[in-house]
Amino acid sequence: MGDKLHFYMDPGGNRLVSIGEYSNIEEYSQSLQSPIAAAGYMNYESIPLIEVDEKALKAHAESHKAAK
């Protein structure tokens, strides 16, 4: 599976939550073709994370402050 994989127990939800990091969509897609996923024992949600240029983010935030 991904480079980094973490497991958490969802309190009250009685389910195990995992967070993985994948280099590309093909690697992620391949991980979802596991026997567990194919058998229907796994629900998944994909949330892409991006790297943000901090200087650009600060400039964007400052431009919104100036507009107020």
Give pLDDT tens digits for 37-46: 778 777 777 7
> Considering its fold, how many domains does the chain have in total?
1
Question: What tens digit of pLDDT does each residue of 2-60 get?
Answer: 456 777 787 777 777 777 778 777 887 887 787 877 787 777 777 766 667 788 878 88
Is this structure's pTM higher than 0.75?
A: no
Query: Between 19 and 67, whose confidence is greater?
Result: 19
Its domain, for residue 40, covers: 5-67
Note the helical H segments in the chain.
25-31, 35-38, 54-67
Which has the closest alpha carbon to 18: 28, 35, 26, 61?
28
Cβ neighbors of 20 (< 8 A, separation 6 or more) are 1, 2, 3, 4, 5, 6, 28, 31
Contact 4, 21 (CB under 8 A): yes
- Among 12, 20, 14, 13, smallest CA distance to 46 is for 20
